[in-house]
Amino acid sequence: MARMKFVCDAERCINCNGCVTACKNEHEVPWGIQRRRVVTLNEGQPGEKSISVACMHCSDAPCMAVCPTNCFYRTEEGLVLHDKDKCIGCGYCFYACPFGAPQFPNGATAFAARGKMDKCTFCAGGPGENGSEEELKKYGRNRLAEGKLPLCAEMCSTKALIAGDAEVLSDIMRERVLRRGYGVELWGWRVAYGNESGQSATPDKR
């Protein structure tokens, strides 16, 4: 069974926020909730980079470890999802998550009075019946049940944000890094890579 992950290539992200808009429109995310956002480092300075951030569906998720009601669960694809009916709005997951993925409504949703947490679902819905009105209302559209990938990744114009099987994503990023001829530190590599002739690869922006 594939383990589904997100990867964002900072060399390709142009801070267009297309992924953010796609997520909001597809799932009718209420005002005040940001399931996905774009973070820019060193803005306006040399070396400025942007990266799209959401729930990373960690293999050892800290949100699952701290939740007192065990509202989080892991799917067969390795996705970390949550049951809003079990959430008590304690906020432990918000403080435990290094990516700031858990979001709490500002009063604009049906769950605001009880402080229900919301986050990226990898377009996989929730614990309810696939495609049901209840699932759509609470968690958004279940694209994975339709054989589709998350819309945020599909709508990325530069393919900076990619989603799917972790092994496939690793191969894609490894190929990109080798084609560029620089940036091997992204993977922690400490050796120089060259092309078939033994020469170092020519740097480019692919």
Which H helix or E strand runs over 171? helix 166-180
73-120-34-90 Cα dihedral, nearest 10 degrees: 0
Which class is 4-154 in CATH?
Answer: alpha beta
H-assigned helices in 51-145: 62-66, 92-96, 133-139
Q: What is the pLDDT of residues 35-57, one digit of tens each?
A: 999 999 988 888 899 999 999 99
Which H helix or E strand runs over 73? strand 72-74
Mean pLDDT by 10 residues, the chain (206 residues): 88 95 90 90 89 94 96 95 92 92 70 74 89 86 92 96 94 90 53 40 41
Token output for 159: 């393919």
CB 4 within 8 A of CB 55: no
Q: What is the pTM of this model?
A: 0.80
Gap between the Cα atoms of 156 and 47, Å rounded: 22
For tokens 């769950």, the residue is: 111
Q: What is the pLDDT of residues 154-163, one digit of tens each?
A: 999 999 999 9
